[in-house]
Amino acid sequence: MIRSIVLRFALGLGLGAALAGAPAKAEGPATKESFLRPLTVPMPKDEPFSPQLATLGKMLFFDPRLSGNENMNCVTCHNPSFGFETPVPRAVGALGKPINRHAPTVLNVAWVPHFFWDGRSPSLEEQASHPITEPDEMGGHIGAIVERLYMVEDYQRWFDKLFPDAGLSGPTIVKALAAYQRTIVSGWAPFDRWAEGDDYAISQDAKAGFELFTGKAGCANCHSGWNFTDNQFHDIGLYSDDIGRGAVEPENPRARYAFKTPSLRNISYRAPYMHDGLMADLDVVIDHFANGGIQRPSLSPLMHPVDLNDNERRQLIAFLHSLTAEKTKTAMPILPN
């Protein structure tokens, strides 16, 4: 039994690495050290960053004047109180109907290499223009929004100071939004204190859950590194009409129904789960992974049924909760008139 699990685990690792084009991983379960937090935030060399620019970006993130009808902001769907998500399966956008996917978190996006559930957007700057102009999200027109913000003297002055050449424009608005979002980093969680050496920071159950996560349950094959994601796309066998990554890579049979592995940071605040928001809580998520998902040609080779008794399920969930930092208040920016 144990041997077959080890074999499947090793097989899974090999196939996954080949699929992802990543270097082969070391054998054996990941250690807690492989999940240690980095101390700096990676910033792209060709994009501007300053605290002032991030502050300006934060104002824009909270400003409903970025939406067509001035009634919705980025926070409508990426709410700090809910781990920068929305506590409903699919948020209602400017057209008054639910949009087609669940809002993912914008926590730790500085470490994310491609955006949206299907990874179709290559940068945070490129990404930010989409929600502003999508008719079913904020339903705005960049030209009209630039004009509207231009009437706000403080915005005009800030943009002129930070971008002496371009001033307030579509491209500088998205640069500011991206700069702010790179500062949205999840706080120290009990797990981090444990990984850094405090043996008492998490419960015995959470420690046993970590062993399952990195061992028999195979979760760390995809939820790896400090942000608990390999940033790759996998079909985990959910019933869905949405082909996800398949639309971006139509020639790749494994891309069908594949979605980007989400971070598990602050997971306790981020229900409901998955790209369609159809899993209400972590019990349902564990049931899904234990069952191994529906069999189809695109199903990830890393997915297979796992025997988990009630106690082990409880331990895995205790571990997942240990990835959640204490709730902090996000101060509301004061918006200029």
d(CA 182, CA 273): 23
Is residue 219 near ligand HEC by the rule CB under 6 A?
yes
- The gap between the terminal CA atoms of the chain, to the nearest Å, is 67
Is residue 217 near ligand HEC by the rule CB under 6 A?
yes
Which range of residues in 30-38, 220-228, 245-253, 321-329 is near ligand HEC by CB under 6 A? 220-228
Burial 281-303 (b: 16+ CB within 10 A, else e): ebeebbebbbeebeeeebbbbbb
Residue 169, token pair as written in the block:
């424009």
Among 248, 224, 245, CA closest to 236: 245
Amino acid at 149: L
Which range of residues in 46-54, 143-151, 157-165, 258-266 is near ligand HEC by CB under 6 A? 258-266
Q: State which residue, 112 or 201, has the beta carbon closest to ligand HEC.
A: 112
Select from 53, 59, 103, 201 the one that contacts ligand HEC (CB under 6 A).
103
Assess contact for 299 and 237: CB atoms under 8 A: yes
Residue 262, token pair as written in the block:
């989400």
Q: State which residue, 21 or 164, has the beta carbon closest to ligand HEC.
A: 21
CA 328 to chain centre: 19
- Smallest distance, Å, CB 120 to ligand HEC? 7
**Binding residues with ligand HEC: total (CB under 6 A):** 52
Residue 252, token pair as written in the block:
């790749």
Is residue 300 near ligand HEC by the rule CB under 6 A?
yes
Is residue 106 near ligand HEC by the rule CB under 6 A?
yes
Is residue 138 near ligand HEC by the rule CB under 6 A?
yes
Is residue 62 near ligand HEC by the rule CB under 6 A?
no
| Residues 6+ positions from 285 with CB-CB distance below 8 Å | 273, 274, 279
Which chain residues interact with ligand HEC by CB under 6 A? 61, 66, 72, 74, 76-78, 91, 93, 99, 101, 103-104, 106, 109, 112, 115-117, 124, 127-128, 131-132, 137-138, 177, 181, 217-219, 221-223, 234, 236, 238, 259, 261-262, 264, 267, 270, 273-275, 285, 289, 300, 302-303, 316
